Protein backbone atom coordinates (compact mmCIF):
# COMPACT_ATOMS: atom_id res chain seq x y z
CA UNK A 1 0.00 0.00 0.00
CA UNK A 2 1.30 3.40 -0.94
CA UNK A 3 2.08 6.05 1.62
CA UNK A 4 -0.83 8.26 0.44
CA UNK A 5 -3.31 5.40 0.65
CA UNK A 6 -2.16 4.59 4.18
CA UNK A 7 -2.68 8.23 5.20
CA UNK A 8 -6.15 8.20 3.65
CA UNK A 9 -7.09 5.00 5.50
CA UNK A 10 -5.86 6.51 8.79
CA UNK A 11 -8.00 9.62 8.23
CA UNK A 12 -11.05 7.52 7.43
CA UNK A 13 -10.47 5.42 10.56
CA UNK A 14 -10.10 8.57 12.66
CA UNK A 15 -13.33 10.01 11.24
CA UNK A 16 -15.16 6.74 11.83
CA UNK A 17 -13.88 6.63 15.42
CA UNK A 18 -15.00 10.20 16.05
CA UNK A 19 -18.39 9.51 14.45
CA UNK A 20 -18.84 6.39 16.56
CA UNK A 21 -17.94 8.28 19.74
CA UNK A 22 -20.42 11.04 18.89
CA UNK A 23 -23.15 8.55 18.07
CA UNK A 24 -22.62 6.69 21.34
CA UNK A 25 -22.64 9.89 23.35
CA UNK A 26 -25.91 11.21 21.90
CA UNK A 27 -28.14 9.57 24.54
CA UNK A 28 -25.93 11.06 27.26
CA UNK A 29 -26.17 14.49 25.66
CA UNK A 30 -29.93 14.15 25.35
CA UNK A 31 -30.17 13.18 29.05
CA UNK A 32 -28.05 16.18 30.01
CA UNK A 33 -30.31 18.49 28.01
CA UNK A 34 -33.31 17.24 29.94
CA UNK A 35 -31.64 18.08 33.25
CA UNK A 36 -30.20 21.41 32.15
CA UNK A 37 -33.20 23.39 33.26
CA UNK A 38 -34.85 24.00 36.60
CA UNK A 39 -38.43 24.51 37.62
CA UNK A 40 -39.08 27.48 39.84
CA UNK A 41 -42.27 27.70 41.82
CA UNK A 42 -43.68 31.22 41.76
CA UNK A 43 -46.52 32.95 43.51
CA UNK A 44 -49.55 33.78 41.43
CA UNK A 45 -50.53 37.43 41.16
CA UNK A 46 -53.46 36.70 43.46
CA UNK A 47 -51.27 35.07 46.12
CA UNK A 48 -48.70 37.87 46.08
CA UNK A 49 -51.42 40.51 46.35
CA UNK A 50 -53.10 38.60 49.19
CA UNK A 51 -49.79 38.41 51.09
CA UNK A 52 -49.02 42.11 50.60
CA UNK A 53 -52.54 43.13 51.60
CA UNK A 54 -52.53 40.91 54.70
CA UNK A 55 -49.19 42.39 55.81
CA UNK A 56 -50.40 45.96 55.29
CA UNK A 57 -53.66 45.24 57.12
CA UNK A 58 -51.79 43.72 60.06
CA UNK A 59 -49.85 46.96 60.47
CA UNK A 60 -53.08 48.94 60.19
CA UNK A 61 -54.66 46.73 62.87
CA UNK A 62 -51.75 47.68 65.15
CA UNK A 63 -52.34 51.37 64.38
CA UNK A 64 -49.61 51.94 61.76
CA UNK A 65 -49.78 53.09 58.15
CA UNK A 66 -47.34 50.93 56.19
CA UNK A 67 -46.37 49.63 52.79
CA UNK A 68 -45.84 45.94 52.05
CA UNK A 69 -43.97 44.82 48.96
CA UNK A 70 -43.83 41.24 47.67
CA UNK A 71 -40.96 40.25 45.38
CA UNK A 72 -40.44 37.01 43.49
CA UNK A 73 -37.42 34.71 43.82
CA UNK A 74 -35.41 37.09 41.61
CA UNK A 75 -36.23 40.14 43.71
CA UNK A 76 -38.61 41.57 41.12
CA UNK A 77 -41.71 43.30 42.51
CA UNK A 78 -44.93 41.31 42.20
CA UNK A 79 -47.28 43.28 44.45
CA UNK A 80 -47.33 46.41 46.57
CA UNK A 81 -49.97 47.34 49.15
CA UNK A 82 -49.55 50.88 50.47
CA UNK A 83 -51.96 52.05 53.14
CA UNK A 84 -53.69 55.39 52.60
CA UNK A 85 -51.36 57.49 54.73
CA UNK A 86 -48.19 55.41 54.58
CA UNK A 87 -45.21 57.67 53.90
CA UNK A 88 -43.95 57.62 50.31
CA UNK A 89 -40.46 56.63 51.49
CA UNK A 90 -41.94 53.36 52.78
CA UNK A 91 -42.36 52.14 49.20
CA UNK A 92 -38.64 52.03 48.46
CA UNK A 93 -37.72 50.80 51.93
CA UNK A 94 -40.21 47.90 51.83
CA UNK A 95 -38.93 46.90 48.40
CA UNK A 96 -35.30 46.97 49.60
CA UNK A 97 -36.14 44.82 52.62
CA UNK A 98 -37.94 42.24 50.48
CA UNK A 99 -35.15 42.28 47.87
CA UNK A 100 -32.51 41.72 50.55
CA UNK A 101 -34.44 38.90 52.24
CA UNK A 102 -34.94 36.94 49.02
CA UNK A 103 -31.40 37.46 47.76
CA UNK A 104 -29.89 36.21 51.02
CA UNK A 105 -32.66 33.64 51.63
CA UNK A 106 -33.01 34.95 55.17
CA UNK A 107 -35.12 37.34 57.17
CA UNK A 108 -33.45 40.75 57.27
CA UNK A 109 -33.57 40.90 61.08
CA UNK A 110 -30.92 38.16 61.10
CA UNK A 111 -28.60 40.40 59.06
CA UNK A 112 -28.77 43.66 61.01
CA UNK A 113 -25.23 43.20 62.38
CA UNK A 114 -23.92 43.23 58.79
CA UNK A 115 -25.65 46.51 57.89
CA UNK A 116 -22.44 48.60 58.08
CA UNK A 117 -20.26 46.13 56.17
CA UNK A 118 -19.38 46.32 52.49
CA UNK A 119 -22.26 44.06 51.47
CA UNK A 120 -24.64 45.99 53.71
CA UNK A 121 -23.77 49.18 51.82
CA UNK A 122 -24.46 47.66 48.39
CA UNK A 123 -27.14 49.49 46.36
CA UNK A 124 -30.62 48.07 46.90
CA UNK A 125 -29.63 46.08 50.01
CA UNK A 126 -31.20 46.96 53.36
CA UNK A 127 -30.26 44.77 56.30
CA UNK A 128 -32.88 46.15 58.66
CA UNK A 129 -35.72 44.14 60.23
CA UNK A 130 -38.93 43.99 58.25
CA UNK A 131 -38.06 41.71 55.31
CA UNK A 132 -39.03 38.02 55.51
CA UNK A 133 -38.78 35.19 53.05
CA UNK A 134 -41.92 33.48 51.85
CA UNK A 135 -40.62 30.03 52.75
CA UNK A 136 -43.33 27.40 52.79
CA UNK A 137 -42.59 23.70 52.83
CA UNK A 138 -38.90 24.39 52.27
CA UNK A 139 -39.58 26.34 49.06
CA UNK A 140 -38.68 30.02 48.93
CA UNK A 141 -41.28 31.68 46.71
CA UNK A 142 -40.07 35.22 47.27
CA UNK A 143 -40.13 37.68 50.13
CA UNK A 144 -42.22 40.39 51.77
CA UNK A 145 -40.79 43.67 52.97
CA UNK A 146 -42.72 46.06 55.21
CA UNK A 147 -41.98 49.66 56.14
CA UNK A 148 -43.95 52.28 58.02
CA UNK A 149 -44.24 51.03 61.59
CA UNK A 150 -42.08 52.71 64.25
CA UNK A 151 -39.72 49.71 64.47
CA UNK A 152 -38.37 46.97 62.28
CA UNK A 153 -39.66 44.43 64.79
CA UNK A 154 -43.24 45.56 64.10
CA UNK A 155 -42.57 45.69 60.34
CA UNK A 156 -41.35 42.09 60.54
CA UNK A 157 -44.42 40.94 62.50
CA UNK A 158 -46.62 42.47 59.79
CA UNK A 159 -44.59 40.79 57.03
CA UNK A 160 -44.92 37.43 58.80
CA UNK A 161 -48.69 37.94 58.92
CA UNK A 162 -48.57 38.27 55.13
CA UNK A 163 -46.73 34.96 54.80
CA UNK A 164 -49.15 33.29 57.20
CA UNK A 165 -52.11 34.50 55.13
CA UNK A 166 -51.03 32.43 52.11
CA UNK A 167 -48.99 29.61 53.71
CA UNK A 168 -51.79 27.09 54.05
CA UNK A 169 -52.91 27.52 50.44
CA UNK A 170 -49.30 27.17 49.26
CA UNK A 171 -48.82 24.00 51.30
CA UNK A 172 -51.98 22.48 49.85
CA UNK A 173 -51.03 23.37 46.28
CA UNK A 174 -47.41 22.27 46.74
Return d(Cα 51, Cα 134) in angstroms, integer: 9
- Strand locations in 10-138 (E): 67-72, 77-82, 131-136
Report pLDDT digits (tens) over 10-59: 666 655 566 655 566 666 555 556 678 888 889 999 999 999 999 999 99
Question: How does DSSP classify residue 118?
Answer: T
Q: Where are the domains of the chain?
A: 1-37, 45-173
Contact criterion met (CB below 8 Å) for 158 and 66: yes
Among candidates 140, 142, 147, 136, which has minimal Cα distance to 173? 136
Q: Can you identify the CATH homologous superfamily of domain 45-173?
A: Haem-degrading domain (3.30.450.150)
Average model confidence (pLDDT) across the chain: 88
d(CA 38, CA 26): 21
| 57-81 pLDDT, tens digit each | 999 999 999 999 999 999 999 999 9
- Band of the pLDDT at 164, cuts 50, 70, 90? very high
pLDDT at 16: 53
Amino acid sequence: MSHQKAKKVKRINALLTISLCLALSMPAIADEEQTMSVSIQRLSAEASLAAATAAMLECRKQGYQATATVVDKNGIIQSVARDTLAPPVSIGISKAKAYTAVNFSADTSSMESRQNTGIGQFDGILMSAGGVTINVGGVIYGAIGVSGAPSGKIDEACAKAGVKAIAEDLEMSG
